[in-house]
Amino acid sequence: MPGAPHHGNRDGAPLDATRARRIAIVRFHLNGEPTAVAVPVHWTLLELVRYTVGLTGTKQGCDKGDCGTCTVRLDGDPVLSCLTLAVEAEGRAVETVEGLGVGGEAHPLQDAFARLGAAQCGFCTPGMLMSASAWLDVLALADDPTFDRATIARVLGGNLCRCTGYTKIIDAVEAVARELLARREESDAPVGADAPDSQRAVAP
Ligand code: FES
Ligand code: FES
C-alpha cells in the first residue's frame, strides 16, 4: 500500500539476507500519494507498481519494451515501466491508470473508450490511456494545438493492440481531443465576444 515500505519477493516470501542487502527504499508520489517502498535495486518500476504496491492495472506484456502495455507516467511523461528501474522514481511523480480519474470520476478518455468500443480484451488499454493522457495534457497547453488522426497514431505508435485494429482507439482519443480543444476555444474567447449587446460590458 502507498506509504508503507514492503519487503518481499513477488510471492510475498521474505528475501534472503544477501538479497536484502541490495534493497533500496524508494520515496516518491504515486497517484498523488506520498509513498515509500523497499524494493530490490534491480527491480523495474513495473515490478514495483505491480508486485510491491499491488496496482495491477499496469500490465506486464513483453517485458522488453515492445508492446507498451506497461506504460505509466513519470513526472507527466509516458515511460515504459518494464524498462525503467524502480529507483529512478526516487523523488518523482508516478501516475498509473488507477490514478487517471479524479475524485472517483472516470477520466474522459476512459468514458470515450467505453462509449466508442475502443477496448475489447482490455489488456492494452491501461497503456493506451496513459500514453494518450500524456499527449492530451501537452495538447491542452500547446501554442499550435492542431492534430489529425495520423498524429494520434504516432502518439500511440508504441502501444500495441491485438484486438481492435486501432480504428476505435483512435476514434476515442480523437473525440476527447476535439472536446478538449472546443473547451479551450471557449475559454480563450474574449469575454462577451458572443454575448448579446445587452449583456456586453459598456464603457463608462
Ligand atoms: S511490458 Fe513493457 S513494453 Fe511490453
Ligand atoms: S483490446 Fe485487446 S489487446 Fe487491445
pLDDT tens readout for residues 172-193: 999 999 999 999 888 887 765 4
Phi then psi for 112, rounded to 5 degrees? -65, -40
pTM for this model (two decimals): 0.84
CATH assignment of the domain containing 17: 3.10.20.30
Structural domains in the chain (count): 2
Same domain, 86 and 180: no
Nearest to 33 by CA among 1, 8, 11: 1
**pLDDT, tens only, 153-171:** 999 999 999 998 999 999 9
Secondary structure (3-state) at 39: strand
Which H helix or E strand runs over 27? strand 23-30
Pocket test for ligand 2, best of 164, 169, 173 (most atoms within 8 A of CB): 164
Distance 200 CA to ligand 1 centre (A): 55
Output the residue whose Cα is nearest ligand 1's atom 3. Answer: 65
Residues in the chain: 204
179: CATH: 1.10.150.120
Domain that holds residue 157: 102-187
* Ligand whose nearest atom lies closest to the CA of 128: 2
Which of the listed residues 81, 99, 117 is the one where a domain comes to its end?
99
